[in-house]
Amino acid sequence: MFGQPRIEYKTNEQMRIMREAGLVLISALDAAVKAADVGVSTREIDAVFAGVLQEAGATSNFLGYHGYPATVCTSVNEEVVHGIPGDRVLQDGDIISIDGGAVVNGWHSDSARTVIVGTPDPEDQRLSDVTENAMWHGIAAAAKGRFVGDIGAAIDDYVSSVPGKRLGILEDYVGHGIGTQMHQAPDVLNYRTGHNGPKLKPGLCLAIEPMLVRGKILTRTLDDDWTVVTEDGSRSSQWEHSVAIHEKGIWVLTSPDGGASRLEPLGVTPVPVP
């Protein structure tokens, strides 16, 4: 009774259903990213995303989650995660992370992308690029490593290796297992620790989601009890994919090609769930 939370290992059939949820989510995020433009409100982005889910016959795993009132999180500029869509209108140069999920036949997907609206600040572009690359290094470690802790170590090592001013890796918000629920054991840290964590083995599905900031990693939650912002007002980025580990290899459930174009340069060839 005092052990670690139980990890849910999936069958191939269950992971294939999660891929179906991932494909719906890809379409919904594609539409949301396309809608994110100067003069568009975050509420409008949420409506576009919700419309794709409805058309596909899928449901949102965000809407109603612990009372959350929308289908996506829209975190703009200094907002790190869990930004609630509303009347905020995007301005030229804003950086926004769009985080959403879909459920098909009880199985979940979860993914996030960062978009820079209008004319990008080069430092914001660097922030988004490094965050996205860090995610892919973490996913490659899920394929090549032995333990869940290897993912955070790979993310940390990559971010540390990038020339120029060091970006901060948030420590209070981490990745997670995913399956019949959106958030499951184990936690997937985005930084190196002395803890190995569980073994990486077939049936394990993970949401890998580094969150980086241009300034300090201290955050606070706004009065809405959801939106997390950087204390120093520095801008942030989040990228996330849901990943399945099976006996033949690894497959990125929320990437159109299973992650092939980004993983093969890192020495990993993803394999569809058999």
Q: Which residues are annotated as a binding site?
A: 82, 99, 110, 176, 183, 209, 240
CB atoms near residue 164 (< 10 Å): 8
**Token representation of residue 92:** 């030229």
Q: Which residue carries 């990228």 as its tokens? A: 239
Binding-site entries for a divalent metal cation = 99, 110, 176, 209, 240
77 close to 225: Cβ distance less than 8 angstroms: no
CB atoms near residue 8 (< 10 Å): 16
Binding-site entries for substrate = 82, 183
Which helix (H) or strand (E) is 186 found in, with range? strand 184-188
Torsion angle defined by CA atoms of residues 14, 15, 19 and 24, in that order, rounded to the nearest 10 degrees: 40
CB atoms near residue 220 (< 10 Å): 10
